[in-house]
Chains A and B, each alone.
Chain A
Amino acid sequence: EAGVGGFYQNKKTFFSFFFILVCDPADVISTVEFNQTGEFLATGDKGGRVVIFQREPQGEYNVYSTFQSHEPEFDYLKSLEIEERINKIRWLPLHNPAHFLLATNDKTIKLWKVSERDKRAEGYNLRDEEGRLKDLSTVTTLQVPVLRPMDLLVEASPRRVFANAHAYHINSISVNSDCETYLSADDLRINLWNLNITDRSFNIVDLKPENMEDLSEVITVAEFHPHHCHLLAFSSSTGTTRLCDMRASALCDQHAKLFEEAADPSHRSFFSEIVSSVSDVKFSHSGRYLLTRDYLTVKVWDLNMENKPVETYQVHDYLRTKLCSLYESDCIFDKFECAWNGTDSVIMTGAYNNYFRMFDRASLRDVTLEASREVCKRRAVLQPRRVCVGKKQKETDVSVDSLDFRKKILHTAWHPKENIIAIAASNNLYIFQDRLTPNGHHNTPEIQSAPPKWQTQPNPPTY
């Protein structure tokens, strides 16, 4: 089912979206990631599965491959169960007919190879077509097996398993621009790996104090700079983001830069620390800026200025007076991700009630959109949403008190080049696409008459 969404502000379209709703009823989606070209979109879920979508020539995304990446494990030493939930997926930028991605749960990172097979060898001498051994007395001539086309088969196979390097829960992985190394970060440490070596990793950041009683902060996210292979950024629960230069020393506990904004004393409450904890960090595509997300805001930092962000956007400031009840319900611990568009001109992040927000940096316009089945119906037009604190000014306004905090959009991704976004809402994936014509003008929104089909799971590949 598809429909066209659009909205107008001052009679100019911001984005007009049509969507493809792909239902994955099995499990809550825990990560979403486009590859470097945007041709593939990978999702990981709470059940340890990875589902990869491929963009068709017509522009829609269809399921390409599904495989079980991680299984639940048990740590006998600590008497702890290790969840199979996929925390992060990162694609490798290899130029190869096959595709490679890293997928990680709390403890183990795996490198998966996803390849296509469309030919099959036929005419073996010793085996028949079904694979059974031939009776040798019947073999009178020799033949050379030939390759014949077959139905496309997508196979996923684990090529590397990077295990036993993290005592705490892994929250991030990031592939270096050198395409040889990658980092993995847990609550207290960041390790550097070579993609080809699984039995060794280098510890480059260690925040674990001598005495755990003195623990004051944990690492929340870490990411490599998109161009400089020696630079990495990591954010912490105290609301700071550090830039580290691996050339300075082997252990990067001393940061090269520290991005921190002085807390606003008028906002001081019991929950100030929680609210300031950074839940996501993303370098801009240009490498010039950093995007950080904390509970209530999303901030753009210039790498050259550490003492305050250059831009701050309020995601849902109306929640500031509700922090106590959000604490009780654990919602205050929700970790929202953020994303840049391909040209670094628009920022996107999720919120509650299946809303997600976009901020245009140049015009300072923002929009709230909703990703839900009720809204995204055939022939339905996507309308911008507005949350009101007091009395409703319009019929379509939504009161703060009627927001559904169980419906949260934590994971969002933006196509690296085009205006295509992937939104994960619980176990549903929504893909929105901008109807931009080749000459650069936006179409007026139109209702699609032939909706794409529901996507069901393909035959599971062998691996």
Chain B
Amino acid sequence: MEYKVEAHRIMSISLGKIYNSRVQRGGIKLHKNLLVSLVLRSARQVYLSDYYSGACLNAQSEREGNEWDITDSEREKFPPSATECDRVESTEEPQPNEQPEKEREYRENDDEVKSDQVDCTSTLQEQNQNSSLDSVAKVSSETPPESITEPKESPSDSAVAERDSTPEANGESHQPPKPYVCSNRKRSAEESESGDSPQKRTKVASSNAKEDEEAEEMDTSNVSNLITIFGSSFSGLLSKESAKPEAEAEDSGQICCDQMLKNLNPWSTAIVAF
């Protein structure tokens, strides 16, 4: 579904922004991070809405204070890794295209104005493509319960037609799915690549988590996932050195972002709480 691709992309962008905010001059901007976390939540709901058979997306968003319940019920509804990997791996093709964007965001975090400039110029080029994505996202988020399947088909079709005409590499999403690689295995491979540092990073991250008053909410498995995702960001934050090459973070981010989905809420609120 094209709207899922868009939702996934928005989530990746949002996570990038949250990461950037940690290294911005002047400290974390609470207002901006709150807004980004709201977008993240909306995108996540849309992204996962496919897993609700018969449940209406609008009802989900209107339910008050039940974010945690939703998360738990999601976990129950389908087996942990395999099915989810099946579903999400087809959306991973667009990821390579997003990496240059993410890398740009990661690298240009010293000067906000500068990063805005670069992103804006690239944005103008992508506007045509994005406007079609926007309309897809809009329709998907407001579909009424009864017709939840049908409207999703037609915007997807129209979006597909529009997408085909753009030369951007998003056309890769139409390729047959790549051979499935178990996300769990890949993630642990990432961790072993980092060698000793995960040990150190776990310790560092948990002290960070305590400062964020989220210690009781985040278990260490979440933390180690997140460390791997953001690569050197934690140690970089504390040592005040510039971020290490982001390629490693990008790859792991691509895989673990999906794994993260269910654990997203503690993280996004941890960002906000400071």
Contacts and interface: CB of A to CB of B under 8 A. Distances in A.
Nearest to B114: A406
A212 B33 CA distance: 13
B14 to A, nearest CB: 8
A130 interface: no
A265 B112 CA distance: 33
A121 interface: no
B143 to A, nearest CB: 11
Nearest to A321: B131
A270 B10 contact: yes
A220 B116 contact: no
Contact of A333 (B6, B35, B138, B273): B35
B120 A406 contact: yes
Nearest to A187: B30
A202 interface: no
Given A212-B273, A270-B43, A405-B120, A169 B10 contact: no
Interface string A80-105: 11110100000000000000000000
Nearest to A271: B39
A348 B34 CA distance: 28
A31 B67 CA distance: 40
B158 interface: no
A268 B38 contact: no
Contacts of A322: 127, 130-131, 134
B155 to A, nearest CB: 13
A427 B257 CA distance: 40
Interface stretch (A304-312, A324-332, A372-380): A324-332
B174 interface: no
A406 B116 contact: yes
A346 B273 CA distance: 41
B31 A269 contact: no
B264 interface: no
B133 interface: yes
A367 interface: no
A78 B274 CA distance: 10
A241 interface: no
Contact of B13 (A217, A237, A327): A327
Contact of B141 (A188, A269, A277, A325): A269
Which size class do B's interface residues fall under?
35 or more
Query: Which residue, of A187, A218, A326, has the highest number of chain B Cβ atoms within 10 A?
Result: A218
A274 interface: yes
A265, A330, A404 pick with most chain B CB within 10 angstroms: A330
A323 interface: yes
Contacts of B124: 325, 401-403, 405
Contact of A324 (B10, B121, B214, B274): B10
Contact of A330 (B26, B46, B116, B273): B116
B26 A328 contact: no
Contact of A326 (B115, B123, B274): B123
A268 B144 CA distance: 13
B123 A269 contact: no
A325 B39 CA distance: 13
A296 interface: no
B27 A81 contact: yes
A277 B174 CA distance: 37
A28 interface: yes
B2 to A, nearest CB: 13
Contacts of B27: 75, 78, 80-82, 106, 169
A220 B35 CA distance: 12
Contacts of A129: none
Contacts of A216: 34
A135 interface: no
A331 B38 contact: no
B35 A277 contact: yes
Contacts of B120: 329, 331, 404-406
Contacts of A56: none
Interface in B158-186: none
B126 A273 contact: no
A270 B130 contact: no
Contacts of A218: 30-31, 34
B119 interface: yes
Contacts of A330: 17, 112, 115-116, 119
A324 B133 contact: yes
A75 B28 CA distance: 13
A268 B101 contact: no
A168 interface: yes
Nearest to B268: A213
Contacts of A83: 25-26
Nearest 7 interchain pairs by C-beta: A212-B273, A329-B119, A83-B26, A80-B27, A213-B269, A325-B123, A405-B120
18 contacts: A80-B27, A169-B29, A215-B269, A215-B273, A218-B30, A218-B34, A268-B138, A269-B137, A270-B7, A270-B39, A271-B39, A273-B35, A323-B134, A327-B13, A327-B39, A330-B116, A331-B120, A405-B116
